[in-house]
Every structure is written in C-alpha cells, then in structure tokens.
Amino acid sequence: MPNRLQGKVAAITGAGMGLGQAIAILFAAEGARVVVADIDPITGKETSGHIHAQGDEAILVQMDVRQALDAERLVRTTVDAFGRLDILVNNVGVQVNKDVVDTSEEEWNFVVDTNLKSMFLCSKYAVLQMRQQGGGNIICISSLSGLVGNGLQASYNASKHGVIGLARSMAVDHANDNIRVNVVCPGSMNTPLTETIPEEKLAPYREANLMKRFAAPIEVAQAVLFLASDDASFVTGSALVADGGYTTL
C-alpha cells in the first residue's frame, strides 16, 4: 500500500478539476486526509466523491481563494475536521492571454489576485496554524511562465514569477518554524484550463517541449507529492520544474 502521506492532513486549492484534482486524489491514495477547496461546489464534490469512492477521507470547502475571510475559514474548517493542517497546496491559477496594452486593469487584478494574492492569503493562515502545531509544508504551483517570458501573458507571467518570489521569501521566514515551502513549475498539461486555449496557441508549446507532448496532470501531481512527503525533508525554497524540458532550450 502506498503511504507516503500517512497521518497527514492536506488542503488543496482548486481541487475540483485539472491538476488540483489529480493532487487531491493522489494525496488521498497516499494516506492523507484531504480538504478539497474550490470555488465550484459541483466539481469540488466530484473530487471528494472520487476520494470517498476509493475508500479515503475528504471534505469539501467551497471558497474563493481571493478572499481573506475564505482563506481563514479554509484553515479553521480543516482544523475543526481533522485537528491539524500539515500540507497546503496553493494550486489555483487562471489565465488571460493578452499583452500589457490590451490587458484591462480589471483583468490584471483578476489574474494577479487569483494566482498570487490567493497564495499570500492561504499561506498566511496556514503558517499561523503550522507554527502552533510545530511545523508544516507549503507547495505553490507556478508554471514554466514563472521562469521565462511568454508572449501575450503579461498578467499570468507576472503572477507566476511572483509565486516563486513569495515562496522563497516564506521559505526563509519560516524555516525556523519547521515549515518547508517549495514551488512546482509545470509545463503545459491537458486540463480544462488548456482546453480553453486555441490549438494554434498551444502548438508552439508542444513543439518547444523536448517530449513533444503535454503532461497528464498526474505526472505533475507526482512532483508535488515528492515535495509534500518526507522524501523531500531537506528540500525548501526550491522551484521544481516539471515541464518536459521546455525551459531547457
């Protein structure tokens, strides 16, 4: 039986579909009790239902990661249900594909609040809990777009670079609290997010990737599992790239 997260409690934001769903299902299969956090209660319920069907424990928290009150409630509900919070995966991300001229202020705020401010808010309340219980583990999902410049992704690129900066800062500040903080930088995956992007925009990413294909979400979820597990006990402040070699070129 796999049990790399036996006895751990993990909260995953954006766990209703795509990468977050793959992480939630994998973590539960590895022994974690899982909190499925999503703005969409229907997809969130699908994920928690899948976890229950495999005989594992999960609860659903409907929340908007951009709201401080919701971030605080996520941590409080997790502790009420399971007594602690060992692992927070800040996974939610949205995309607007425009250059800086065409991006409206509203679009900028939507992307940066959802992708970056959310990680600040959820981490803030998670760190307070993790400190009290003697330690914890935070993983933030950035992107290859957090490492290189991509065309027509002004707000997304900025937010994903910011995620790495925030995570490194938290790794420094909270090492003494026994909290590890790391980042995973995925390349393109087959998820509902990429399904919304026209094929002509996706094709260059597939071509520039050494493996000439997109990842299945589970392939990236395995990288997140490594960082969440005690196998990564000496790893903090790192950005683990799982991009099929895109940023190698």
Q: Using CB under 6 A, which of 58, 65, 221, 227 touches ligand NAD?
A: 65
Three-state DSSP state, 57: coil
Pairing of strands 33-38, 9-13: parallel
Rule CB under 6 A: choose which of 28, 74, 93, 126 binds ligand NAD. Answer: 93
Residues 6 or more apart whose Cβ sits within 8 Å of residue 101: none
Of 100-129, binders to ligand NAD (CB under 6 A) are 114
Nearer to ligand NAD (CB atom), residue 134 or residue 151: 151
Kindly write out the interface string for residues 134-153 of this chain, putting x where it contacts ligand NAD by CB under 6 A and - elsewhere.
-------x-x----------
Per-position x/- string for 13-52, each x denoting binding to ligand NAD as judged by CB under 6 A, each - no binding: xx-xxxxx-----------------xxx--x---------
Three-state SS for 115-181 is HHHHHHHHHHHHHHHHHHHCCEEEEEECCHHHCCCCCCCHHHHHHHHHHHHHHHHHHHHHHHHCEEE
How far apart (Å, rounded) are the C-alpha atoms in residues 193 and 98?
A: 16
| Closer of 39 and 139 to ligand NAD (Cβ) | 39
Does position 192 interact with ligand NAD (CB under 6 A)? The reply is: yes
Any catalytic annotation for residue 246? no
Query: Order of strands across the sheet with 87-90?
Result: 58-62, 33-38, 9-13, 87-90, 136-141, 179-186, 239-242
> How far is Cα 173 from Cα 111, in angstroms, rounded to an integer?
26
CB of 115 to ligand NAD, least distance (A): 6
Rule CB under 6 A: choose which of 103, 157, 188, 229 binds ligand NAD. Answer: 188
Active-site positions read: 156
Which residues lie near ligand NAD (CB under 6 A)? Answer: 13-14, 16-20, 38-40, 43, 63-66, 91-94, 114, 141, 143, 186, 188-189, 191-194
